[in-house]
Amino acid sequence: MSVSQSDATVPPTANGSGVQMAGRTHVGHVRESNEDSHFVAADLGLVVVADGMGGHAGGEVASAIVVESIQREIRGIGAFANAAPALALTAAIRAANDAVRLEGEGKPALRGMGSTVVAALVIERVAHVAHAGDSRAYRVRKGGIERLTRDHSLVEENLRENPGATKDDLDGVYRHLVTRAVGASPVLEVDVVEVPCESGDVLIFCSDGLTGPVEDDMIAEIVSASPSIDRAAEGLVEAALEGGGPDNVTVALVRIT
């Protein structure tokens, strides 16, 4: 198995958080290219996962722009990111939205490309989580798992509007339609939640290549049973591949120390 990876483990950093971070990505068993991108930086307390969409190379380009734009914006605003993390993340994601749209407008082959995003700043054991689309964030604590984000997708909206419905009620292409994406419109609405954390908590940020084939309870079991955060990231990717690997799969993990 060929897995792209990125790791960062540091003592308490300038933003006041002692965190360990690890990231893994894999093209999966079906796709020809990997349209996911991710970034982790323990010195910033920053993690980003983006899942691109678009014809030709559009998805790859869009997700790469999102990740690069967000990390550049967060680094550029410096201490403001610690003082106002929700505003900083929202501004960074909206800057990424502008960058994706600009790139698409200038190159006809990339027109209409976009990307989901889930990102967080972890400061003083508080995770500020922002997202648009169906990439998700979870918190695993003492063997239990809590989903921190709500998908911006046709399936999720159908379930919210029709409490008796199930995911199986929407088949085929409709299962993959998102209602928000970076680059999809001039103004992007970004959801941000504040999540208090404890020592030992593990935060998971992932594309739907993980949550499609792997149930939430299994995600929690893999993370809780893993001897290290690196092994947990590897185990999640392996589980997605064992589940058929129908899509690119990317995970980024943060352990609060």
pLDDT tens string 89-109: 999 999 999 999 999 998 989
User: CA angle, corner 250, sides to 77 and 119, nearest 5?
Assistant: 25
Encoding tokens for residue 139? 């918190």
| Phi-psi sector, 200: left (phi>0), alpha (psi -120 to 50), beta | left
pTM of the model: 0.91
Structural contact between residues 50 and 67, judged by C-beta atoms closer than 8 angstroms: yes
Q: For residue 12, name the pLDDT band (cuts at 50, 70, 90).
A: very low
Nearest to 191 by CA among 178, 200, 208: 178
Q: In which residue are the tokens 């722009």 written?
A: 65
Q: What percent of the chain has pLDDT over 70?
A: 87
Residue 123 has pLDDT above 90, yes or no: yes
Q: Is the pLDDT of residue 2 over 50?
A: no
Q: How many Å apart are CA 56 and CA 16, to the nearest integer?
A: 42
The CATH-assigned architecture of domain 4-256 is 4-Layer Sandwich (3.60)
| pLDDT tens sequence across 16-40 | 458 999 999 999 999 999 999 999 9
φ/ψ of 75, rounded to 5, equals: -65, -40
Dist CA 156 CA 178 (whole Å): 9
- Say whether pLDDT at 5 is over 90: no
pLDDT at 242: 98
Using the structure block, give the residue that is written with the tokens 């993370």: 223
Find residue 41's DSSP bridge partners.
46
